[in-house]
Amino acid sequence: MYLVVGLGNPGTQYEMTRHNIGFHTIDYIADELNVKIKKLKYKALYGECEINGEKVYLVKPQTYMNLSGDSVVEFVRFFKIPVENVIVISDDISLETGRIRIRPKGSAGGHNGLKSIIYQLNSDEFARVRIGVGSPQHADHDLADYVLGRFTKDEIPVLEDAIIRSYKAVREIIGRGVQSAMNKYNGK
């Protein structure tokens, strides 16, 4: 059993923002697998599906980014999902727009959603699929404004491609493991 969590902020004011790329990826996966992300439980919208013969919960925490761990820990505890079977999809400002980076574990790297999940799980031993959203062009640009900003017209096709590759990476992680996914998709 796996938990695939896309990070983002609930509410229409956050749709199509850089910080919500995790939500967009969960929506894409759900569309591809004909799954409805409509159930509300454990402070999240979620749906159930099967990927590579494994039961998978697709989750969009509704707690706002900084409290994502509150939702994730409840799913992990209730469904008894091993931490190593948790896959978190998030934005990454240190990666060029559209690049993805897969890691089997590690620090939050300054990402408040990941920080919350690590804190609540008391572990950093879960896989991450981080999608590059670029960084502000000016050093004095407010980081919060940047990640809560909307994608430009030019960025949208690049990020749509990154979302598709991220879904393939999730399938690879579930089917063949994190290392295989890293070999196939890191840096692309």
Alpha carbon distance 66, 41 (integer Å):
18
Sign of CA dihedral 183, 186, 187, 188: positive
Round to whole Å and give the CA distance between 4 and 18.
19
Query: Comparing 157 with 105, which gets the higher pLDDT?
Result: 105
Res 74: pLDDT: 96
- Identify the residue whose tokens are 């999240």: 44
What mean pLDDT, rounded, does the chain reach?
91
pLDDT at 146: 58
| Residue % of the chain over a pLDDT of 70 | 91
Where residue 34 falls among pLDDT bands split at 50, 70, 90? very high
Q: Using DSSP, how many helices (H) and how many strands (E) does the chain show?
A: 6, 7
Summarised one tens digit per residue, pLDDT across range 102-134 is: 999 998 888 899 999 999 999 999 999 999 887
Residue 18 has pLDDT above 90, yes or no: no
pLDDT computed for residue 144 by the predictor: 63
User: Domains (ranges, CATH) in the chain?
Assistant: 2-185 (3.40.50.1470)
Residue-wise pLDDT tens digits, 59-100 = 999 998 899 999 999 999 999 999 999 999 999 888 898 999
To the query of whether residue 19 is one of the catalytic residues in this protein, the response is: yes
Residue 149 scores a pLDDT above 80 = no
Give the model's pLDDT for residue 122.
96
pLDDT for 127: 97
Whether 147 has a pLDDT exceeding 80, the answer reads no
Q: CA 142, CA 42: separation in Å to the nearest integer?
A: 32
Q: Identify the active-site residue in 19, 111, 138, 141.
A: 19
The pLDDT score that the predictor gives to residue 155 is 80
Residue 141 pLDDT exceeds 90: no
Quickly state the pLDDT bin for 13 (edges 50, 70, 90): confident
Average pLDDT over residues 16-31: 91
Q: What is the pTM of this model?
A: 0.92
